[in-house]
Amino acid sequence: VIVKPMMQDVYVKSIELEQLHAEIKRDKEGKIDWIGYLQPQTPASEEKVSQKETNSTEKSSQWSVKIDDISLKKIAANLSDESVKPSVKTKLNELSIDLKNVTLAGEERFFYDIELLLNDRFSCNSSGSVQHAALNVETFTQCKDFDIVHYRPYIDQAALESLKTYNVLLKNGVAGFDVNATLRSEDEKMQLLVHSANAAVDEVVLQRRDSGAKIAEFKSFEVKNATLDTKKKEVFVDRVALNSLGVYAKRDKRGEINLLGLIEPKEEPKGATKSSSKTIKSKKEEAYKVALKSFDVNSAKVLFEDKGVEKGAKTTLDKIELHAKNISSKEGSKFAYNISLRVNNKGYVKSKGDIKHTPLEQKGSVELKKISLKELSPYIGEAVYIKVSEGALSLSAKTAYKQKEAKAEMAADGSLKIEKFLLNESRSGDKLASFKTAEIKSFAFKGDPNSLHIEELILDSFYVDAIVNKDKSMNFSRLVKESQSKEAAKKEEQSQSKKDEGSFAFNLLKLRITNSSAHFADYSLPIDFKTFIHDLNGEIHSLSNIKGEVTEVDIDGVVDEYGSTKLKGSLDSSDVKSYLDIDFNFKNL
């Protein structure tokens, strides 16, 4: 140490402190014991300093102090915090700080290097420079293996204090990040410039606090190469990725879904809400410009178990991939998206296109490939005694959406196909209907007003089992469950009264029936009657729910071995009672 009092100059070559160990405690009131130890106890007589002395001290020139090297090595501490429940214990395994070229004036930069090991696992390295006369900090910091769960009591305490409902428990989670940044004072304002930042949260598991049931997990959430400029108000991120997300949804017998109502905010007083909204309106600040080059969801899955239906149902969506490119906060900007997923281990859904915000617009395509229909049986079975035993749906369409003030324009044009469809009576297992394929080669859907136009529906190898019982009721009439039939009647009355509101225009130009058949039996006659109609072929033209549209029917078939049947004529399919002119002829029975 060299001190030159007359020149008001102090030079220190080095200051070293090694292997300091401290025990620090924070009590239930939040007071830290060390602060009490370090508070000065100055006699009252010494506190009274004359104004003259104070002024002379302020006017005196500042001393020049320079320290070449400050080294704190292997500092350790145990920290116990009882202000939260359960209490949190932190072990500072090792802290080393090295400062070079430190001056009191701070007009020159000093350089620092910090190494930290916490709780045997969390490690941090930070290096850079600091100029504090006019604040300018350059830093590169890298941290990894931060155990979030260790400090969960702080998260829980904050959430329970600020939220009405907090039913989420973080069971596992590890975080890490690295950042290269500059913090400087410019025009009496602090400016933060992040040149590059990366962050990741890994191995996260979330549970319900009340039951401990797992509701979600993911392998990693990553933010790559993020930049920030608080002066220009710009945020740019190269990539955000969510990997191996798992969502576990359940609906119980009461109809309650386990993912709903997990977090609910407290209701603010009405007066507070109004005043805060006025403050927001009065202080309109320029919004940040945000741009994200790539957002990816990789290998996600959603498992849904539904006990809200009588026989229970399970749905699995896996191999979920979502990729979005060039997302921007700029008004009118577009981003491209690409989505794919597997449904119940068999079928696939794929969609891609562009989305524009403000106003919201979408153009793209969607493709469904061999989506199994038998998983719908538990839901259909709530209303009727019907089971879909087989069936696969495929669809290919171009879609468009455009928001116009309060209205939205929607459109979808494409084709649809259902293969190997089989319908059974759920109680007896008897076959009710089936077909090999039902194919729509071209359809067009439009919203506001709603309409569906189909060029042609080809129904191949259709089969139906129609029975008239002794009481003259059809077998199909007994399929509706009694409670559901009463509810359906009420809904029918309500819908009839609102028929003109939100009407849906439907038009099928041609229904072509090929290689079809039917079993027909009538047990209401004195003598039981049974017959088998096969090789049914023909066409039905212009099926519509629009009044006045005439539907033409022309179908031929073979009855049993030698007979034949022909159905020909016309009707108003929107209101059969208003017009029906059909010839139904049998020969050689």
Model confidence over 31-79: pLDDT tens digits? 988 887 766 655 554 545 445 555 554 445 678 899 999 999 999 999 9
- In this prediction, residue 41 carries a pLDDT of 59
Largest CA distance in the chain: 133
One-letter amino acid identity for 18? E
- Most confident by average pLDDT, 217-221, 267-271, 443-447: 217-221
pLDDT for residue 427 is more than 60: yes
The tens digit of pLDDT for each residue in 238-295 reads 999 999 999 999 999 999 999 999 999 988 766 655 545 444 444 567 899 999 999 9
Specify the range with the lowest mean pLDDT, choosing from 94-98, 192-196, 484-488.
484-488
Would you call 210 exposed, middle or buried from its count of C-beta atoms within 10 A (0-12, 13-18, 19+)? exposed
The tens digit of pLDDT for each residue in 468-486 reads 888 888 888 888 887 655 5
Is residue 24 within 8 A of residue 79, CB to CB? The reply is yes
The rounded distance, in Å, linking the Cα atoms of 437 and 418 is 6
Nearest Cα to Cα of residue 178 among 139, 137, 149, 236: 139
Nearest Cα to Cα of residue 94 among 113, 121, 116, 72: 116
- In this prediction, residue 323 carries a pLDDT of 98
The rounded distance, in Å, linking the Cα atoms of 96 and 74 is 5
- In this prediction, residue 281 carries a pLDDT of 45
- What pTM value is reported for the model? 0.86
| 483 DSSP 8-state letter | H
Reduced to 3 states (helix: H, G, I; strand: E, B; else coil), residue 278 is helix
Is residue 360 within 8 A of residue 387, CB to CB? The reply is no
The proportion of the chain whose per-residue pLDDT surpasses 90, expressed as a percent, equals 67
